[in-house]
């Protein structure tokens, strides 16, 4: 039995559509999905100490799941990249904080495959770095940190569909679950 751990961003929790559907892709493949919610008030988000805070929040859940779960994380949750690197866990990183040096460093140490998803209008995204870190990248032109694009809302909903397809294709490519 496979497991997936969903780690939210700073706002909206694990039920935000990007995370909900990311976890649903894993669930449709037979995984048990464990959705984390932050249990404490968030500290400063742009300081290196945030990595330890995130680790303290999510390691107990990952340990309780055991094995080698897939991590699906958004924004703040991508501070769990150090955990993925240390434990060789596959991951889907939605709007990763690539401009935060500790996140980029952790991603560079990863030995398990990861999918990086971001948009060109997100000031925390670096498409060139993403492509150096992983062969699995979805970059959406004009998308902001919420993966919204300019224009009618239906265009942003279409982006959500593209993200779901990218997650499915990534999991197919790495043979998850094996």
Domain annotation for the chain: domains and CATH numbers: 3-174 (3.40.50.1820)
Burial of 9 (0-12, 13-18, 19+ CB in 10 A): buried
Widest CA span in the chain:
43
CA angle in degrees (0–180, nearest 5) for 79-76-61 = 65
pLDDT at 143: 98
Q: Which residue ranges in the chain fall short of pLDDT 50? A: none
pLDDT at 12: 80
pLDDT digits (tens, 9 = 90+) for 2-54: 999 999 998 888 889 999 999 999 999 999 999 999 987 777 777 788 899 99
pLDDT at 109: 97
Instruction: Find, among 94, 79, 92, 69, the residue nearest to 4 by Cα.
Output: 69
Long-range pairs of 59-67 with CB within 8 A, sequence gap ≥ 24? 59/83, 61/5, 61/34, 61/36, 62/5, 62/87, 62/89, 65/3, 65/5, 65/32, 65/34, 66/3, 67/3
Quote the pTM value.
0.96
């Amino acid at each position: 039995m496979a497991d997936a751990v969903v780690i939210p961003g700073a706002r909206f929790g694990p039920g935000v559509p990007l995370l909900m559907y990311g976890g649903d892709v894993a669930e449709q493949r037979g995984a048990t999905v464990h959705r984390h919610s932050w249990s404490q008030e968030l500290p400063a988000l742009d300081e290196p100490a945030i990595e330890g805070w995130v680790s303290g929040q999510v390691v107990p859940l990952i340990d309780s799941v055991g094995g080698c779960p897939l991590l699906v994380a958004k924004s703040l949750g991508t501070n769990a990249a150090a955990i993925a690197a240390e434990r060789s866990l596959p991951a889907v990183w939605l709007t990763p904080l690539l401009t935060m040096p500790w996140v980029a460093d952790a991603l560079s140490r990863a030995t398990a495959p990861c999918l990086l998803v971001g948009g060109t209008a997100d000031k925390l995204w670096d498409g060139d770095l993403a492509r150096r870190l992983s062969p699995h990248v979805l970059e959406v032109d004009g998308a902001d940190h919420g993966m919204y694009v300019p224009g009618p809302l239906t265009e942003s909903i279409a982006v959500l569909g593209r993200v779901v397809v990218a997650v499915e294709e990534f999991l197919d490519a790495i043979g998850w679950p094996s």
